[in-house]
């Protein structure tokens, strides 16, 4: 059975944390974006820092700016998202502002992602994008403005102009424009700052999204994953370009859409008989592409067969904030009692444009017995090849080998399945065929009470 699995599916993929002494060591990740990407001198603003494999920890992660910027607070939203409140001095130097993010032994030196703007004789714009992991195409249904979510705000410094036209576009790195809109600002006061949001434009361009954007939305309503860019351009009142007034861009990343959390082992769904396990420290495994997970173990009371009934019981054990898709039941937890039924569930949440969406796995159950009385000599299994990348439609042969307690190879008859469904298929001979869409799947081998799995990444190019 594998004891370390790291799945990367987005900005908010899973991260295996390794403890070493009193410090925390991480794989080196990446800072993807800082929003807003700029701020004016003298401002106090909240900036949102989005990363991948970053392992931010509340109370441990620190952010260090130059002396002319005061860090007033640091909030860890999740291991890959920070909200930092800063105050910029009135005489802070304009231009690129570099800063550091430190968590344990991990350090990110951030450059070219945040800029201090000095108000000058030309109009300036600043956009603040609110962090989400999923955006729906209906969020740009401009016939229903009063019900649209707040996605971003734009602040405009007009300089000496009385009238300005603001043009905003949302673009995908590969598929082009998703949406665009215009707003006329009139009767502006020199030296003032005018702020509005995505629901307050005058005119919205309709039906400009590409076929790829629309095809993705037909599946689950969300726009496709990838890097996105808001581009804000200011024109004069007649729609003409303004000299030395350059477009402002803010980028953010949308991860692969998350349809749910798929359970791997131990246990079976509630519509099946509970699996019997023979260890009091089971190794729980699941499959998902989220930054954090919450694990809960319940005792199943007499007559209970539904998830609603079981999850109202008092938990036997809980662990929140897990950053990998596996968990070894700890020796300090409540002891499992022989002959009793237990059930477990994984929960999480993602930020969407409509708020936090809670995600619950199915509930799996099992019975704990102290000794294996089946007489089966199978001690463990291995599955190969190791985690691989395939193109859509490609195939690979999956091989499972079994070993007895002496380490000798023995014949095994295993069931193979793909999690999640629809990403690919596997037959009885072990041939896995990748599906048409990109994504990540687990091929799980079950041989009696033994299970193991590999991950297969379906990519658009190698």
Please tell me whether residues 8 and 56 are part of one structural domain: yes
When divided into structural domains, the chain yields a total of 4
* Interior angle at CA 277, CA 272 and CA 278, nearest 5: 165
Please tell me whether residues 210 and 272 are part of one structural domain: no
Please tell me whether residues 132 and 252 are part of one structural domain: yes
| Banded model confidence at residue 315, pLDDT cuts 50, 70, 90 | very high
Among 225, 257, 289, residue at a domain's last position: 257
pLDDT in tens, 359-387: 888 999 999 987 655 555 677 888 888 87
Range of the domain at 142: 127-257
Task: Determine the pLDDT at residue 212.
Answer: 73
Beta strands per DSSP E along 329-449: 341-352, 355-360, 364-368, 378-384, 388-390, 395-397, 399-404, 409-410, 415-419, 424-426, 431-434, 439-447
Please tell me whether residues 6 and 52 are part of one structural domain: yes
Please tell me whether residues 380 and 366 are part of one structural domain: no
Please tell me whether residues 205 and 266 are part of one structural domain: no
CATH of the domain at 314: 2.60.40.10
pLDDT in tens, 92-103: 888 889 999 999
Please tell me whether residues 200 and 140 are part of one structural domain: yes
Which residue did the predictor score with more confidence, 248 or 219?
A: 248
CATH of the domain at 442: 2.60.40.1080
Please tell me whether residues 209 and 166 are part of one structural domain: yes
Among 204, 225, 257, residue at a domain's last position: 257
Please tell me whether residues 415 and 347 are part of one structural domain: no
CATH of the domain at 178: 2.60.40
pLDDT in tens, 9-42: 232 233 222 323 333 334 467 888 888 888 888 8
Task: Name which of 151, 142, 383, 345 is nearest 263 in CA terms.
Answer: 345
Torsion sign (Cα): 454, 455, 459, 462: negative
CA distance 203 to 105: 49
Among 326, 353, 373, residue at a domain's last position: 373
Please tell me whether residues 334 and 437 are part of one structural domain: no
């Amino acid at each position: 059975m594998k004891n370390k699995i790291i799945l990367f599916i987005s900005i908010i993929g899973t991260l295996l944390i390794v403890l070493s002494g009193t410090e925390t060591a991480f794989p080196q990740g990446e800072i993807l974006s800082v929003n807003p990407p700029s701020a004016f001198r003298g401002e106090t603003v909240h900036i949102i820092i989005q990363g991948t494999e970053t392992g931010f920890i509340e109370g441990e992660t620190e952010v260090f700016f130059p002396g002319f910027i005061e860090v007033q607070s640091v909030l860890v939203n999740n291991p890959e998202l920070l909200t930092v409140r800063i105050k910029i001095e009135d005489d802070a130097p304009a231009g690129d502002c570099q800063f550091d993010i430190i968590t344990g032994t991990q350090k990110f030196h951030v450059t070219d992602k945040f800029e201090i703007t000095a108000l000058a004789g030309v109009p300036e714009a600043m956009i603040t994008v609110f962090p989400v992991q999923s955006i729906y195409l209906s969020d740009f249904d401009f016939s229903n403005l009063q019900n649209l979510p707040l996605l971003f705000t734009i602040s405009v410094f007009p300089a000496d102009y009385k009238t300005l036209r603001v043009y905003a576009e949302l673009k995908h790195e590969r598929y082009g424009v998703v949406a665009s809109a215009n707003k006329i600002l009139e009767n502006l006061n020199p030296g003032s700052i005018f702020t509005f949001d995505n629901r307050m434009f005058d005119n919205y361009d309709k039906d400009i999204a590409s076929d790829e954007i629309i095809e993705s939305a037909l599946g689950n309503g969300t726009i496709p994953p990838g890097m996105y860019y808001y581009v804000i351009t200011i024109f004069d009142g007649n729609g003409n370009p303004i000299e030395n007034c350059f477009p402002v861009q803010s980028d953010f990343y949308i991860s692969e859409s998350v349809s749910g959390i798929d359970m791997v082992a131990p246990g079976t769904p509630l519509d099946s008989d509970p699996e019997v396990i023979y260890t009091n420290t089971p190794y729980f495994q699941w499959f998902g592409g989220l930054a954090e997970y919450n694990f809960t173990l319940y005792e199943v009371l007499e007559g209970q067969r539904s998830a609603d009934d079981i999850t109202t019981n008092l938990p036997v054990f809980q662990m929140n904030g897990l950053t990998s898709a596996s968990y070894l039941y700890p020796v300090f937890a409540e002891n499992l009692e022989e002959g009793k039924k237990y059930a477990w569930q994984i929960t999480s949440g993602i930020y969407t444009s409509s708020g936090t969406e809670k995600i619950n796995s199915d509930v799996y159950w099992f019975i704990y017995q102290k000794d294996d009385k089946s007489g089966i000599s199978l001690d463990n299994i291995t599955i190969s090849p190791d985690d691989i990348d395939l193109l859509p439609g490609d195939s690979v042969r999956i091989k499972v080998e079994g070993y007895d307690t002496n380490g000798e190879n023995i014949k095994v008859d295993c069931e193979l399945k793909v999690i999640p469904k629809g990403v690919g298929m596997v037959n009885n001979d072990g041939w896995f065929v990748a599906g048409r869409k990109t994504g990540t799947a687990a091929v799980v081998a079950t041989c009696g009470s033994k299970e193991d799995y590999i991950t297969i990444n379906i990519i658009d190019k190698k």
